[in-house]
Structure 1
Amino acid sequence: MAFAFPDSFRFADSHEYANADGELVRVGISAFAVDQLGDIVFVDLPDVGASLAKGTSFGSVESVKAVEDMYAPIAGEVVQRNEAVLASPEELQNDPHGEGWLLVLRPSDPAELDSLMTAEAYGAKVNAG
C-alpha cells in the first residue's frame, strides 16, 4: 500500500511529523507508523509546559502489537496536547495527519524543521519497502 503525506509536513526518521502553523508546530506520527502499529489502545503524552529536546522520547503509543516510544522531531515547549486522542486513542488511528495530531510545540529553534525530511522524501523512504 502506498502512503501519501501532506506536502507541508516534515518527517523524522522515527516517523514523527512536524507541521509548522505560524509560530507553533503541530506534532504527530505518520500514517505509515500508525499502519505498522495496528489497533492503537493507549497513548501517553507529556503535560503542557514540558520542554522537549529534539530526538528524545516524549511519550508512547501502545497497540495490540507493541508499545513504541515517540521522539520529538524538534525541540520545544509543549503548549497543547490532544486530549481527544488521550481519551480515544482510535482518533490517532482514524486520522493521524489531521484530528489525530498529538502535540503543539513552541519550537526552541524553528530552523530545526529544515533538518527533517520533506513529505516527498519521507514518502519515497516508506513506500520503497
Structure 2
Amino acid sequence: MSFDVPDDCQYLETHEWARRTNGTARVGITDFAQDELGDIVFVELPAEGDRIEADEEFGVIESIKAVSDLYAPVSGTVSAVNEELFDAPELVNDSPFEDGWMLEVEYDDGSEFDDLLSPAEYAEQTE
C-alpha cells in the first residue's frame, strides 16, 4: 500500500510532519500513522501559548487500537491549536495533512528542520 507523503512537509521517524509557512510550522501525524492507529477517537493537545521542544512529547492521540504519544518536530511556542479535533478527531483519519492538522508553532530555529526526514527519506521508511 502506498501512503500520501506530501513534498512540502518534513517528517519525524515517529510519524509526525511539519509544514513551514511564514515563520510557523503546522504539525500533524502522517497518513501512514493514522492508518496504523485505526479510527482516531481522542486527541490531547497543548494550549495556545504553551512551549514545545523538538523530539519531546507534546500530546497524546488515542484510537480504538492504541494510545500513542505525539512528538514535536521543532521547538517553539504553540500559536494555534486545531480545536475542531476535540469534537471531530476522525478528521485526522480523513485528512491528516489538511483538515486533521494539530498545531501551529512559532519555531525558534529554522535549522531544526535540517534534522527532519525529507519526503523521500520518510517514504522509504514506510515502504
TM range (shorter): over 0.9
Spell out, residue by residue over 1:38-97, the C-alpha distance to the aligned partner (whole angstroms, 9 max, x if none).
011000000000000111110000000000000001101000000011211001110001
Spell out, residue by residue over 1:16-40, the C-alpha distance to the aligned partner (whole angstroms, 9 max, x if none).
0010011110000000000000011
Letter in 1 for 2:124: A
Equivalent pairs: percent with the same residue? Answer: 39
1:21 maps to 21
Q: How does 1:81-100 map to 2 (within 5 A)?
A: 81-100=81-100
Residue 115 of structure 1 deviates from its aligned partner by 1.0
1:57 maps to 57
Query: Where do 5+ consecutive residues of structure 2 fail to align?
Result: none
Letter in 1 for 2:80: Q
Per the alignment, in what secondary structure is the counterpart of residue 59 of structure 1?
strand
Letter in 2 for 1:34: Q
Residue 4 of structure 1 deviates from its aligned partner by 2.6
TM-score, length-normalised on structure 2? Answer: 0.98
Query: Where do 5+ consecutive residues of structure 1 fail to align?
Result: none
1:72 maps to 72
Distance in 1 (CA, whole Å) between partners of 2:110 and 2:30 is 20
CA RMSD of aligned residues (A): 0.7
- The list of structure 1 runs, each at least 4 consecutive aligned residues, that deviate by more than 2 angstroms after superposition, is none
Count of residue pairs brought into register by the alignment: 127
